[in-house]
Structure 1
Amino acid sequence: MNMGEQVLLSGDPPIELVLKASARARRFSLRVSRLDGRVTLTLPRGASRRQALAFAEEKAEWIRRHIAEHPGEMRPLPGQAISFRGASLPIVAAPGRAVRLVDDRIEVPARDPERTPARLAAFLKHHARLDLVEASRRHAARLGLAHGRITLRDTRSRWGSCSAQGDLMYSWRLIMAPPGVLDYVAAHEVAHLAEMNHSPAFWVQVARLYPDYDAPRRWLRTNAQNLHRYRFKD
């Protein structure tokens, strides 16, 4: 058996899953990713492929229920909608060469619709940079500190980070969240300029910059998978 092997369980619907061995695992365990719906079955040492598939068959209905709860990936195209600053806005094909925010919709060039996802990603990154630079500067000024370089990435494991040199990194997908959520993440990372840890002293700094930080933290825990469901690359 090849570890990392992809297998298909028959049924309605069929289930794609990945078999993964772990020397530390003591039993079979299943995980359905909240980000992309990937199903991973971890095997303990000495378990066979046959045993793994038998276990998966026993848990097939449980797997299907969890997959059904996952929103699934979406490639944003005209006729669909995308989240922008917390609002679900329709994507509308229109004349012109640039993506534009017009009233309560996002207009994209009607020409070459297959390029729409890439165009939307560039649009989102542009606005994410504007909002995150402004928020970072504002929070840093309140602490009387200076931050370093700001970079944007498409990260899944974290929404932001602060280096020992004071450089800030953010996920540009934060522009799809409500403004208060983006502002909280900026406050969180800027607070690390004063406290490079997550000690009680650090959370005092966060509360100083964003007093009601529990609400946006809960929002991110609940809605992270919705921000990551959009697929902008082939």
Structure 2
Amino acid sequence: MSDGPETVAIASRQVTVCWRRSARARRISMRIDARSGHVILTLPPRARRDDALALLRSHSAWVVANLARIPQAPRWHDGGQVLIDGRPHAIRHCPQARRGVWIEGEVIHVSGEAAFLVRRLLAFLREEARTRLGAGLDALSRQAGLRPTRLTVRDTRSRWGSCTADGAIMLCWRLIMAPPEVQHYVMAHELAHLRHMNHGPDFWMLVDRLTPHRRMAELWLRREGATLLRDMQE
């Protein structure tokens, strides 16, 4: 069970707190959701909210320091920018157009009312991700001789991809914003799990055979990945 977000003042600043009740929780715990920038407080069923707030305030310096490290969420608006394949594309709002969303060169055009710009852009990017990531995974799987049972492209909180024991691969749609080399690495990583469901030496040898981009991609994801996982803002 969870309660809606609540604004709490700590250390001379306002933070957003989300409450969670868990039958499995043995004690009050606290974490920061890097995607939303919210503090998540998880309580056992009988724990008091006042005790959870006391825990929050006793760790106020830690909370403030870690919130400050979270990258700013991308801001999508007319004149702003969005990454596609790692390259900045200018956002141009075309309220009178009737073409939906389309790309011309390094400009992405969004039709319709301004209030729906972010929603339309998100829908477009998700569909682009399904098309592009699907084609990329298909090409790499043919090259590797490794065929997943199915592919799903969806939103995730922290994972860029996953592979199940029955051979189903999931890719995060936000990869469409990363450079092609990073996309290629994540696909290779998940395809390698079709043969090795672990991260042992044989797994990494196969990844390195499937993609030359491993080191660069890992570094890019460490530096830039958190920004892509943030919720978009207008």
TM-score where L is the length of structure 2: 0.80
The aligned counterpart of 1:33 is: 33
Q: Distance in 2 between matches of 1:154 and 1:19?
A: 22
Q: How many residues align?
A: 229
Gap runs ≥5 in structure 2: none
The aligned counterpart of 1:155 is: 156
Q: Deviations over 1:74-104 (max 9, x none)?
A: 5623232212111222211133422122222
Aligned pair 1:188/2:189, yes or no?
yes
Of residues 130-139 and 184-193 in structure 1, the stretch that sits farther from structure 2 once superposed is 130-139
The aligned counterpart of 1:170 is: 171
Instruction: Confirm or deny: 8 A CA contact 1:75 1:230 kept in the other structure.
Output: no
Q: Which one of 102, 105, 108 corresponds to residue 106 of structure 1?
A: 108
Q: Deviations over 1:164-206 (max 9, x none)?
A: 4433221111001111111111111111222233232221211
The aligned counterpart of 1:126 is: 127
State the superposition RMSD in angstroms. Answer: 3.2
Cα shift at 1:42: 5.6
Instruction: Confirm or deny: 8 A CA contact 1:37 1:72 kept in the other structure.
Output: no
Instruction: Confirm or deny: 8 A CA contact 1:35 1:224 kept in the other structure.
Output: no
Instruction: Give the 3 Å change call, closer, same or farther, for CA 20–108 of structure 1 in structure 2.
Output: closer
Matched residue SS, 1:14: strand
Cα shift at 1:34: 1.8
Q: Distance in 1 between matches of 2:130 and 2:50?
A: 50
TM-score where L is the length of structure 1: 0.80
Q: Distance in 2 between matches of 1:19 and 1:146?
A: 42
Q: Distance in 1 between matches of 2:63 and 2:169?
A: 38
Gap runs ≥5 in structure 1: none
Q: Distance in 2 between matches of 1:187 and 1:3?
A: 37
Instruction: Give the 3 Å change call, closer, same or farther, for CA 43–121 of structure 1 in structure 2.
Output: closer
The aligned counterpart of 1:85 is: 85
The aligned counterpart of 1:63 is: 63
The aligned counterpart of 1:141 is: 142
The aligned counterpart of 1:204 is: 205
Q: Name whichever structure is richer in strand by fraction.
A: 2
Cα shift at 1:133: 2.2
